[in-house]
Chains A and B, each alone.
Chain A
Amino acid sequence: MANFSKSNVPQFSVDIYQNEYLPEGGREVNAIVTVTSTGGGTTGGLPLPTRPQPSAGGRTPISLRSPGHVPGTAPTGPAAAVVIMVDCSGSMDYPPTKMRNARDATAAAIDTLRDGVAFAVVAGTHVAREIYPAGGALAIADSSTRNQAKQALRKLTTSGGTAIGTWLTLAERLLATADVSIRHGILLTDGRNEHEKPEELKAALDACAGRFTCDARGVGTDWEVKELTGIASALLGSVDIVADPSGLAADFRQMMETAMGKEVADVSLRLWTPQGAEIGYVKQVAPTVEDLTSRRTEAGPRAGEYPTGSWGDESRDYHISVQVPAAGVGQEMLAARVSLVLPQPDGTSQVLGQGLVRAVWTDDMAASTRINPQVAHYTGQAELAQVIQQGLEARKQGDRDSATAKLGRAVQLASASGNEDTAKLLAKVVDVVDAATGTVRLKARVADADEMTLETRSTKTVRVKK
């Protein structure tokens, strides 16, 4: 049993980037941990013929639209289940293209389902309704169920309010019926979560966290960025804005492709630190900034685990900051042992890969004052995300001075680190006078979509320039 599941697990490699040298009395150890998973499943790392790489981005070739239809091919990849949650609240009819695009996008996502994957479609309003297959069950994807599901989408009508917690709760119940390793949700909304209390959404998220992963998308500009980023963050998925509903189909297809590319779920980052050490923080810093510090669960003596969700062929970076007890010059200490672990049915954990973070005390100032380029880069990227959020908040509050200062700093950081996408988004909110010094002027008029796009994507980072 354990061996069978093992064969589907990709290879994880863990690389540590740090300056291990500390001055006398120094305690703070920073390291960037790059985790890369490759070649899951029994295909020996070859890309599955019907499954495009997630990196195909929005420019998905037409030929990939109907995967799983290759005659004679057996379903490949790990057992997976996906529930698509589509907002059907009254506002989805304004403009009417919004609902039509949502329907088309859901159809595109269904077309992207691999044969054999369990799936369901849920219509979300102030309550959650099963649209397909209904009856508290999941359908198994093949050409006929895919067609039936797309037919069922015609039944999607708009009326009522928005209570996202109920959608997630239904998705969780449906996904729980499948005996699969990958459980994923795709959630689309166009409005605020107005028809339940924030505590109700919070309770639903707490119940769903660790049960399935979920990507969240906001269409239009009437939804609340913090609400959706909170959902994606709690459920370890991605979040984005689709300001123009016509972009939904491509986005849904890509999300589903990424979901189909996942090979292993419930992977945790385990951190061992020595006696007397304190964890400063544990953050995912690429592809997006996600602070995991508060999501620690204890895992044995001096060790804790942080959830990372499911993995396909991909690479993520983590920034770990640890305060260790100071030791004398010439001493060496293991400041942290970082492992990727996969829980096993018998309660133990399989270690997928690990790396060592070290601390070495030296009186060589040149060594101890050196800043590791990766650590410096991601410290900057994390600050970039923070100053964008603070700057936009200040702007909303009417504090123009503070907004100008924060967004100016953001422009400076984005420019210096080569984060061009974020630099472009910033340029829609401020007039850049000099990027190098962070001199900017707030634009008098900013489109809602531009501001929301910047806020939603503020946590997107770039990797170190090679």
Chain B
Amino acid sequence: MGVNAMPQLTLCPECAEPLDPEDSFCGACGADLTTAASGDGYELAPPAPAGPPASPASPASPASPASPASPASPASPASPASPPGGGDTTTFGVGSVQLPHSKITDPREEPPKVESPQAACVACGVGRVDGDGYCEHCGHAQPRPRDHQEQELEGVAAVSDRGLRHHRNEDAFALSATSLPDGTPAVVAVVCDGVSSAYRPDDASAAAAATANESLLDALEHGAAPEDAMRDALLTAAQAVTDLADEDRGAGGGGPHHNSPACTCVSAITSGKTFTVGWIGDSRAYWIPDDRSALAARLTEDDSWAARMVAMRLMTEAEAYADDRAHAITGWLGADAVELDPHTASFEPDGPGVLVVCTDGLWNYAESAAELASAVPEDARARPLHCAQALVGMALDGGGHDNITVAVMPFPVPQP
């Protein structure tokens, strides 16, 4: 399945703009015509120019996936038709979501899609959807691109979901695959969780994920040591989130915001015999070995109230996490951050396995490494996207109380 095989469209399925045969994207609304034509479930993946920065001129909006009118079915696998492990089937439309020089865009800030007159509200099925994304009849907000996102690259897959209790997805992730100067493949995953009590948390996480990813790619391609690259990436991402607060002040119209945009960040690099994790906040990384008799491990220490209580031996882990304050974070990215202390760690495991990089929306439902390991499917390394979907499904089944984002990275990096 490729671009050539797509059926010819004469009108944009999103906005009915007339098309030329060679168009890959609608000139009016930017809809990705290739995914629209294939209709096989790829529309849930954020479309992006295929491959490395070869086609920077593509007008693709970095996130214009599912038509807002299509009901979100977060727990359902995105591409039932794609055979497991068939790497070649996933090469289309799922290149790096944030190219090093691509612009950070919030899907909600993009011009709203012009709906075809038939587009009906997902909530009441009666009203049309207005230009602001609300039903003209019942007023319900329509699903947004960020509500559910999936992406798979060679060596990493990620799923992010709004969950069942939050009105928007304030998590963000970015994945990329590159190679070190010596030709060794390296894979990067960044997962960020916007702080809900702060202003524009969704923008904060999107900016941090994209910036950290870009910074990591750049550093790795220039031969930086992974831990240095990780530290720099976290600091650069923190600056990007801090800049959002300046933007607000500059705009002047927003009024006083008590809390500047803020988010957590956890990233992982897999390359060669080692992997490296770096984090600020309470998003986590776990190591789940293939050999389930071996010990699974949590690789990160939360910057959180609970973690501090445990570290200071004031409470047991069970007591600390049962407390209302458990999730109060003590470290984050943003202008109000008290101290910026990026943590990094590198590991050289004995055997193969997967890295699970996730926000608390997932680990709330499988806090210990053992619990998480039991939720990771046995074929996780061969089918990372399926694994990520399964883990998100577990969190949704558990109540989906928060936004859920999980990246699954097979280790060692699969050889192309």
Contacts and interface: CB of A to CB of B under 8 A. Distances in A.
Interface of A: 15, 17, 273-277, 301-302, 324-325, 327, 329-335, 337, 356, 359-364, 366-367
B251 to A, nearest CB: 13
A335 B141 CA distance: 10
Nearest to A361: B167
Contacts of A15: 253
A330 B164 CA distance: 6
B162 interface: yes
A331 B140 contact: yes
8 nearest interchain CB pairs? A274-B139, A334-B134, A332-B141, A334-B139, A332-B167, A333-B139, A330-B165, A360-B167
Contacts of B196: 364, 367
Contacts, number: 62
B110 interface: no
Nearest to A356: B132
B135 A274 contact: yes
Interface in B117-143: 124, 126-127, 130, 132, 134-141
B138 A332 contact: no
Given A274-B135, A366-B197, A327 B140 contact: yes
Given A330-B167, A356-B132, A360-B167, A277 B139 contact: yes
Contacts of B124: 275
A282 B137 CA distance: 21
17 contacts: A274-B135, A274-B139, A325-B138, A329-B165, A330-B162, A330-B163, A332-B141, A332-B168, A333-B134, A333-B138, A334-B135, A334-B141, A337-B132, A356-B132, A362-B165, A364-B196, A367-B197
A331 B72 CA distance: 13
A57 B294 CA distance: 82
Nearest to B140: A333
B139 A335 contact: yes
Nearest to B142: A332
Contacts of A333: 134, 138-141
B166 interface: yes
B324 to A, nearest CB: 11
A315 to B, nearest CB: 14
Interface string B163-191: 11111100000000000000000000000
Given A330-B165, A330-B166, A361-B167, A275 B137 contact: yes
A331 B163 CA distance: 11
Of B126, B127, B140, B196, chain A has the most CB atoms within 10 Å of the CB of B140
Interface of B: 124, 126-127, 130, 132, 134-141, 162-168, 196-197, 253, 255
Contacts of B165: 329-330, 362-363
A453 to B, nearest CB: 34
B139 A324 contact: yes
Given A362-B167, A364-B196, A366-B197, A332 B140 contact: yes
A416 B309 CA distance: 42
A276 B167 contact: no
Contacts of B139: 273-275, 277, 324, 333-335, 359
Contacts of B141: 331-334
Nearest to A329: B165
A274 B138 contact: yes
A153 B299 CA distance: 91
Contacts of A363: 165
A436 B164 CA distance: 45
Nearest to A21: B167
A363 B138 CA distance: 22
A324 B130 CA distance: 18
Given A330-B162, A366-B197, A274 B137 contact: yes
Given A329-B165, A361-B167, A334 B137 contact: no
Contacts of B197: 366-367
Contacts of A367: 196-197
A332 B134 CA distance: 9
A329 B124 CA distance: 17
A15 B254 CA distance: 9
Contacts of A366: 197
A237 B127 CA distance: 39
A337 B167 CA distance: 19
Contacts of B136: 301
Of B135, B136, B163, chain A has the most CB atoms within 10 Å of the CB of B136
Contacts of B134: 333-334, 356
Nearest to A358: B141
Contacts of A361: 167
B306 to A, nearest CB: 18
B136 to A, nearest CB: 8
B276 to A, nearest CB: 35
Given A332-B140, A334-B139, 12 more contacts: A275-B127, A275-B137, A275-B138, A277-B139, A324-B139, A330-B162, A330-B163, A333-B141, A334-B135, A335-B139, A363-B165, A367-B197
Contacts of A277: 139
Contacts of A360: 167
Nearest to B162: A330
A334 B132 contact: yes
A303 B27 CA distance: 34
A332 B136 CA distance: 14
A330 B168 CA distance: 8
A252 B126 CA distance: 55
Of A330, A335, A360, A366, chain B has the most CB atoms within 10 Å of the CB of A330
A229 B236 CA distance: 61
Nearest to A354: B132
Contacts of B163: 330
A364 B168 CA distance: 14
Contacts of A356: 132, 134
Nearest to B164: A330
A331 B137 contact: no
B13 to A, nearest CB: 25
B1 to A, nearest CB: 35
Of B126, B137, B138, B162, chain A has the most CB atoms within 10 Å of the CB of B138
A334 B130 CA distance: 11
A331 B167 contact: yes
Contacts of B168: 332
B288 to A, nearest CB: 29
A36 to B, nearest CB: 11
A335 B132 CA distance: 13
Contacts of A334: 130, 132, 134-135, 139-141
B258 to A, nearest CB: 10
Contacts of A301: 136
Contacts of A273: 139
B143 to A, nearest CB: 11
A427 to B, nearest CB: 32
A279 to B, nearest CB: 14
A302 B165 CA distance: 28
A326 B139 CA distance: 12
Contacts of A337: 132
Nearest to A330: B165
A367 B197 CA distance: 8
B9 to A, nearest CB: 32
Nearest to A366: B197
